[in-house]
Chains A and B, each alone.
Chain A
Amino acid sequence: MKKFVVALAVLALVAGASFGQNVIKIGAHWPLSDPGSAESAKAAQMAVDEINKAGGVAGKQLQLIVVDDEAKGDKGVAAIEKLVTVDKVDVLFGGFTSGVEAAIVPTLKKYGIVTVATGAATSGLVENPLGPSPDSDFYFHLHPWDYQQSQSEVDGFAALAKKYPAVKTQKLFIAYEEGAFGAPSFKGWKALLEPQGFTVDGASFKSALQGGSDYSGALQAAKDFKPDMFWWIGYAPDALPLLEQAKAMKFSPPIYLGAPPSWPADMAASPLAENTMLFGMWSPAMNKISPVSKKFYDAYSTAFKVAPVSYFSALSYSGIYILAEAIKKAGGVDKAKLIAALEQTKYVSPLGQTITFTASKVIKHQGIQNQKILQWQKGAQEIIWPFEAQSAPLTYPLPAWK
């Protein structure tokens, strides 16, 4: 009998030890071959290291486990299954492509683990399947949805037109890449702008990412339209060739704006980029305005010997800190307490804004809801709007090609 009790006690001790781990596990998934996502992974790890060095959270250390989802739906599902059932993570994190996010939504809902999503903007594919509260309350979406981005961009230009009366925005031509990124964005912008009195036209082009090389069809249509604003939405490889061909066609609209998710490395060095505009969420110019941004930028540059290239790193960094704060407030990873704590988030982020969670069209917990308007000036991305974060005055119009 005594032996049995001792054995039981030893068993209980061992079992207790394996349950009471001193680690809070964050499971993240990203397509690691994408440079923006690789940055996100690094920035997240940097945040985790900083927090651990400062003593961890709720008496425990954080551990980040990253699995590559290869931008494929089935690999994304496998990644989530691994993180939840094998690594037994406490919270889920990350994400980049909407396609993968759409594929993992059923699995996320099955487990219902608190998830902080850093990517996925296509609401049609992700927000609608997630569904309304309370089924989707475990999901905290940091990245703005496509319709929120469009709305903020429209608001931004309305504000610019008001502050700078010389700026004309009435006629807009949008060149969009024909795929899953450009086409719906064009449709969304058109649906938003035309009822507000704008004249909108557009043309599709094949992105260089898919082997396209000739933007002449779209550019000629744009030139014939004689727009006040020319926007293009595509990918980084389109940025400079588009400008070069626009110059060859002597097409210089007063506002030339690009909206790719990232930029080529040489954009800053190109004289053609001068005074073109862009939508984005962050740029190194934020360092002039936000000390949090400067701290992040310097830490990242020192740790990885290269400056952050896109806003994804700052976003991912913010996400880890938001999670850490909430875990601290909740005293642990209990689901109900953690959700309540996350709802109270008020995080001053390197992106230059304070992040809170409010409702979007369908889900209850949406973080960032806007984009910013920036302009290339002397090789740097200056922030033009929102005016609270403005780092340089607007230069208008785009000078004609020499």
Chain B
Amino acid sequence: MNRLLSFALPLGCLALVVALPLFKDLAPAIAGPYPLSLARSIFIYMALAISWDMLFRSGQVSFGIAGFFGLGIYGSALSVLRLGMSPWLSILAAGLFAALVALLIGFVVLRLRAIYFSITTLALAEIFRIVLHNGGSFTGGPEGLFIPKIISSDNATLYWLALSGVVVALAASSWFERSKIRFALTAIRNNELQAKSSGIGIFKYLLVAFVVTSFVQGIVGGIQLQSYGSSSPDSAFDANYTLLPLAMALLGGVYSTVGPVIGAVLLGFAAETLKLRIPYGHLVVYGIIIVLVILFMPDGLYGLWRKRARARRSARIDARMAAKGASRG
């Protein structure tokens, strides 16, 4: 029964989320253009949060999400504008472009650890931004560029496009969790020396993780660009695309796929709701919420749930053992 629930529940949720736009006439309050456009924003951040968590499972903290996201934006835009690619294909091209860059710099950067790795990813994101900023008419320069038209003006299509970014991230994250990559990454995270001595090709797994997460971030960038039609170096590489997914993953619960999902929904909704209720000063409350959640739920929401579930399970086991003991004696 529990097994059925743990399988049916997430599947049911996913089905509901996918089918949401179909309810736009029945329930406009949750399926109309406004909630759908909000959902799109949340999906973008959600996919980024999931991808960040994937690399974090190896112990590496990336501050370069915005870098690969921005590369995806420009990859998609330039494919359409300079190579005449179709918008749909350009999104794939965006992901591949980001992945290629990650592959090339990964050889150099993945030898670093801890804060040095983090700062290097941050510096790289800034370097990408400045290079594109100085790219003259080819990249559109400081004011940015725009594509002739967005990929679709149908709300449902845009919603499903953003959702597909999440699906790609979920698929990659699932693969990471179910394959031997998971053990490799966890081993690296816990004790790299031990991992190395037990024969795990650390560099190989880190590179795979790095390239796959950058691919996801690039895809999401492509989706963003095709959905909104324009961007600029400052908006594509905005630091919020690094810090907010990180905060979302943390608040939801790291080292999981569900955590970043929950975190993105939580922070995304909070941001918009606060904005509508408190037009001046909503961001103060937003910052305070982040502080409070970190202080009172250090494992994130999902982490808290996991702990409680574990505690409940062990309490049940204890009770069962006690009952067995009582029935015997």
The stretch among B14-22, B35-43, B116-124, B202-210 that forms the contact with chain A is: B35-43
Give the residue of A70, A77, A184 whose beta carbon is less than 8 angstroms from that of B142: A184
Chain B 218-233 residues near chain A, CB threshold 8 A: 224, 228-233
Given known A67-B276, A74-B44, contact A179–B141 (CB-CB < 8 A): no
Interface check B153, CB cutoff 8 A:
yes
For residue A295, CB closer than 8 A to chain B, the reply is no
Name the prevailing secondary structure of the B interface residues: helix
How many residues belonging to B are interface residues under a CB distance threshold of 8 Å? Answer: 35
Asked if A212 is an interface residue, CB under 8 A from chain B, the answer is: no
Q: Decide: B228 and A183 in contact? CB cutoff 8 A.
A: no
Instruction: Indicate if the CB atoms of A102 and B37 lie closer than 8 Å.
Output: no
Q: For residue A66, which residues in chain B have a CB less than 8 angstroms away from its CB?
A: 279
Q: Which residues of B sit under 8 angstroms from A38, Cβ to Cβ? A: 280
A73 at the interface (CB under 8 A from B): yes
* Among B33, B40, B146, contact of A102 (Cβ-Cβ < 8 Å): B146
Residue of A nearest to B150 (CB): A106
Cβ contacts under 8 Å, A68 to chain B? 275, 279, 282
**Residue B143 interfacial (CB < 8 Å):** yes
Task: Place the interface of chain A in its size category.
Answer: 35 or more
Interface flags, B181-201, vs A, CB<8A=1, else 0:
000000000000000000000
Contact of A86 with B34 in the complex, beta carbons under 8 Å: yes
The interface centre, meaning the residue of B40, B141, B229, B276 with most chain A CB atoms within 10 A of its CB, is B229
Contact of B229 among A32, A84, A103 (CB under 8 A): A103
Interface residues of chain A: helix, strand, loop or mixed (majority): helix
Residues of A close to B232: CB separation below 8 A: 99, 180
Among A18-45, those with CB < 8 Å from B are 32-33, 38
Contact of A184 among B38, B143, B150 (CB under 8 A): B143
Q: Which residues of B contact A72 (CB under 8 A)?
A: 235
Binds B, one of A121-129, A234-242, A335-343, A387-395: A121-129
Interchain nearest-CB distance for B43 vs A (Å): 11
Q: Are B229 and A102 in contact (CB under 8 A)?
A: yes
Distance A82 CA – B29 CA, assembled complex (angstroms): 10
The smallest beta-carbon distance between A248 and chain B, in angstroms, is 28
Complex Cα spacing A75 to B244, Å: 15
Contact A78 B37 (CB under 8 A): yes
By beta carbon, the residue of chain B nearest A98 is B143
B41 touches A75 (CB 8 A): yes
A residues 153-185 near B (Cβ < 8 Å) are: 178-180, 182-184
Query: Closest approach, in angstroms, between the C-beta of A27 and any C-beta of chain B?
Result: 12
Q: Which of B33, B153, B235, B283 contacts A81 (CB 8 A)?
A: B33
For A77, the chain B residues whose CB sits under 8 A away are: 37, 228
Contact status of A99 and B144, CB under 8 A, knowing A73-B228, A85-B34, A125-B230: yes
Is B113 located at the chain interface by the 8 A CB criterion? Answer: no
Residues of chain B lying within 8 A (CB to CB) of residue A70 = 275
A184 neighbours in B (Cβ, 8 Å)? 141-143
Q: How near does chain B come to A37, taking the closest CB pair, in angstroms?
A: 11
Residue in contact with B230 in the complex, picked from A33, A73, A82, CB distance below 8 Å:
A73
Question: Cβ of A110 < 8 Å from any Cβ of B?
Answer: yes
A43-74 interface with B by 8 A CB criterion: 66-68, 70, 72-74
Which residues of A are found within 8 Å of B282, using beta-carbon distances?
Answer: 68
Interface residue from A75, A106, A125, A178 paired with B149 (Cβ < 8 Å): A106
The distance in angstroms between the C-alpha atoms of A77 and B37, with both chains bound, is 7
Give the residue of B142, B149, B234, B272 whose beta carbon is less than 8 angstroms from that of A78. Answer: B272
What is the CA–CA distance of A122 and B141 in the complex, to the nearest angstrom? 13
Residue of B nearest to A99 (CB): B235
Taking the complex as formed, is B12 at the interface, i.e. its CB lies under 8 A from any CB of chain A? no
14 contacts between A and B (CB under 8 A): A67-B276, A73-B228, A81-B34, A85-B32, A99-B144, A103-B229, A125-B146, A128-B146, A129-B146, A178-B133, A179-B142, A180-B143, A182-B142, A183-B143
Q: Measuring CB to CB, which residues of chain B are less than 8 angstroms from any residue of chain A?
A: 28, 32-34, 36-38, 40-41, 44, 133, 141-144, 146, 149-150, 153, 224, 228-235, 272, 275-276, 279-280, 282-283
Please name 10 further chain A to chain B contacts, defined as beta carbons within 8 Å, in addition to the given A32-B279, A180-B232, sorted by A numbering.
A74-B224, A78-B34, A78-B38, A81-B36, A82-B34, A85-B28, A85-B34, A106-B228, A129-B229, A183-B143
- A residues neighboring B (CB under 8 Å): 32-33, 38, 66-68, 70, 72-75, 77-78, 81-82, 84-86, 98-99, 102-103, 105-106, 110, 122, 124-125, 128-129, 178-180, 182-184
Q: Sorted from nearest, which 6 A-B pairs have the closest CB atoms?
A: A81-B34, A102-B230, A82-B34, A183-B142, A81-B33, A180-B143
